[in-house]
Amino acid sequence: MNSVLRLLPRPLQIGLTVFLLTIVGAPVGYVFLASVNTDLAVAAGEFWPERVSVGNYVRIWSTVPLGRGLANSLLVAGTVAVTCAAVAVFSAYVLVRHRFRGRRTVLRALLGMQSIPGTLLLLPVFVLFATIGSSLGVPTIGTRWSLVVTYLTFGLPFSTWIMVTYLRELPGELIEAARVDGAGSWQILLRVVIPLSWPGLVVAAIFAFLLGWNDVLFASVMTDVDTRTAAVVLQVFGAAQEGGAIPPYGQMMAAALVCAAPVVALYLAFQRYIVSGLTAGGVK
């Protein structure tokens, strides 16, 4: 089986893996070395720390409310990921399986929306939320849900596209077979399409998750002290007064790695869904 599935000869596979890991590893390794170094040495560009200290990994938790930030980020990005993937699979299913006027316009507009810079929308979005909040008497600015709604919207076009490219490759016979069995549209979606689209769904969810995880622009104005996300909280490590003490570089690097860890861990956990493609769905 393995030899059938093999894509690259073994030496090339090993060579490429080592090459790619080096490309990733060299700068990331530097980030790690800097995280156990002193701020002065990092600023001076020192590569190997003279004295290794893990103190930065302890200090980051009291310098900023990192724990709360991570919890907020997980909550916001997690909700966005799940909702986004769900809405995306519905939309994509319609866009792939149905022919209607304006369909292509919708598809292209989805990509077009990706090119709108966030900075252009920041102020209007903020004002819109503030208006909705004050006219309906519900809290908006400073709440997690306003952030979820924002990221969900920004994540949808891309997630939908991922699902479109994915669903298009699904064999139509399966759906036909289900229909012949008397399954309705809704049942086909839940019983056939979704179980077959796990790899695509996971990737769509990952991108939506990362959007919420990495954003600073919207989170910095739409959150308050209690709802700050990790990405915003991290910015404090870069804060420095002009001509004053140098910023806590070591802590900055340590915190960046700590914040990357949950994402890497989540990916590790969700990988089993993308390990096996269509075979798992019983296509054969």
Partner 1 sequence: MRAGPGWLARPPPRRRRGATAGGAAVWLLAPGGLLTLTVIVVPFVVALVMSLLDLDQYTFRQWLSAPFVGAGNYVEAVGRTSLPHAIWVSGSAAVIATLLALPLGVAAALTTHLPFRGRSLVRSLYLIPYVLPAFVVGTIWRIILQPDGVANQGLATLGIAGGLWLNGPKSYLALIVVQAWSGWPLVYLLALAGLQGIDDSLHEAAALDGAQWRAKLRHVILPLLRPPVALAAIISLLHMVNSFTLPFVLFGVPSPHDVEVLPVLTYVESFQNLRFGLSAAMAVISLVLILVPLLVYLRTVRLDEPEATA
Partner 2 sequence: MNASRGLLAAALAATVAIPVTACDPGSSAEDGRTLNVLIGANSIYPTEQKQWFADVSAKFQQQAGAKVTFETFASPTDELTKIQTSMLSGQGPDIYALGTTFTPTAYSTGAFVDLTADQWTKIGGRDRFLPATLGISGPDATHEVGIPFTSRPFVMAYNKELLAAAGIDKPASTWDGLRQQARQLTGAGRYGLAVAYGDGFDPWKFIWAMSIQAGNPLVSDGKARLTDPVTVKAYQTYLGWLATDKVVDPAATGWKNAQAIAAFGAGKAAFLPMVSATSKVTLDKSAVAGKYGYAVMPTVPPGATSLPSGGVGATSILSGDNLVIAKYSKNQDLALRLVNMLTTAESQEAYYRTFGELPTNAELANRLVADPALAAIVDSASKAHGTPFHGGWSKVQLALVNVVVQSVPNLAAGKVDDTSLNALLAQGQSEAQAALDKAK
Sign of the Cα pseudo-torsion (164, 168, 169, 172, in order)? positive
Span 150-189, contacts to partner 1 by CB under 8 A: 150, 152-154, 156-158, 160-162, 164-166, 168-169, 171-172, 175-176, 179, 184-186, 188
> Under rule CB under 8 A, which residues in 232-251 are in contact with partner 2?
232, 235-249, 251
Contact between 125 and partner 1 per CB under 8 A: yes
What mask, x for binding partner 2 by CB under 8 A, covers residues 196 to 225? ------------------------xx--xx
Containing 34, the helix (H) or strand (E) segment is helix 10-35
- Structure tokens of 239? 């804060």
Q: Which does 71 bind (CB under 5 to 8 A by kind): partner 2, partner 1, none?
A: none
Please give the Cα distance from 162 to 232 (Å, whole number).
Answer: 28
Cα dist. 214→149, 189, 263, 268, 273 in Å?
16, 31, 11, 19, 24
For residue 32, the minimal CB distance to partner 2 (Å) is 20
The item of partner 2, partner 1, none sharing an interface with residue 276, based on CB under 5 to 8 Å by kind, is: partner 1
Contact 214, 231 (CB under 8 A): yes
Provide the phi-psi class of 110: left if phi over 0, else alpha when psi is between -120 and 50, else beta. alpha
Residue 271 CB, shortest distance to partner 2, in Å, is 34
Residue 244 interface partner, choices partner 1, partner 2, none, CB cut-off 5-8 Å depending on type: partner 2
CB of 148 to partner 1, least distance (A): 11
Using rule CB under 8 A, residue 120 touches partner 2: no
Query: Of 167, 269, 159, 171, nearest to 203 (Cα)?
Result: 159
Binding segment for partner 1 among 57-65, 66-74, 114-122, 135-143 (CB under 8 A)? Answer: 114-122
DSSP assignment of 93-121 equals HHHHH---TTHHHHHHHHHHHTTS-HHHH
Stretch that binds partner 1, among 56-64, 69-77, 89-97, 219-227 (CB under 8 A): 89-97
Q: Residue 100 Cβ, how far from partner 2 at the closest point, in Å?
A: 15
> φ, ψ for residue 248 (rounded to 5)?
-75, 80
With binding defined as CB under 8 A, does residue 140 bind partner 1?
no
Residue 193 in contact with partner 1, rule: CB under 8 A: no
Q: Where are the alpha helices (DSSP H) in 137-238?
A: 144-168, 172-180, 185-187, 194-196, 198-214, 217-222, 230-235
- Residues found near partner 2 in the complex (CB under 8 A): 38-41, 43-45, 62-64, 122-124, 126-128, 130-132, 134-135, 141, 220-221, 224-225, 232, 235-249, 251
